Amino acid sequence: MKSIALIGFMGSGKSTVGPLLARRQGRPFFDLDSIAERLSGKTVSEVFSGEGESGWRLWESRALAEVVEEELPFVLACGGGVVLDAKNRDILRQRFLTIYLDVSEAVLIERLRRNKGRPLLAVAEPEAAIAALLKARRALYEAAAHLIIETDLKNPTEVADEAQTAVAKLTGA
């Protein structure tokens, strides 16, 4: 059975839904950002500060390459930018059952307004940054995904339930 990867924009709920889905599946949960932080020895913000976004994307790719070697199936919450690298998209399509947690721009702006620890949103106009990043990434999320779950009007438990049902239908489990 394949491992499950959750992808989507920052604030889409991957790190909240992931542990819920992992419990339902009886699988371990991993967070790609945490793995990349462990490998780099720095926080996301420290890497962005010292190595820039491109440096972070390299650590993110290294983390994905490491976690894909796990033998037992697991649930993985990916960083929002993991899909920017074509090789990562290929890994997500081939080695995982990948679920895109889709969320509207308006809901993202509301969710991310409360979160100040996002390096890509540490700009004068974070709403414009969200719009531009989402526009640039949406097609990449869709290309990497086997399933898309709209999350705007759902709480994390409802999203995990929907993901569990969809996985069962796809895998026959």
pTM listed for this prediction = 0.91
Q: Where are the domains of the chain?
A: 3-171
- What is the chain's mean pLDDT, rounded? 90
DSSP H or E segment with residue 150: strand 147-150
d(C-alpha 134, C-alpha 23), whole Å: 29
pLDDT on residue 110: 81
Count CB neighbours of 86 within 10 A: 11
Q: Does domain 3-171 have CATH number 3.30.70.270?
A: no
Write down the residue that tokens 């889905």 correspond to: 21
d(C-alpha 134, C-alpha 124), whole Å: 17
Residues 39-48 have pLDDT tens digits of 999 998 899 8
pLDDT on residue 123: 66
Residues 30-88 have pLDDT tens digits of 999 999 999 999 998 899 889 988 899 999 999 999 999 988 999 999 988 999 999 99
User: With contact defined as beta carbons under 8 Å apart, do 162 and 150 qualify?
Assistant: no
- Quick one: which of 152, 144, 147 has its CA closest to 167? 147
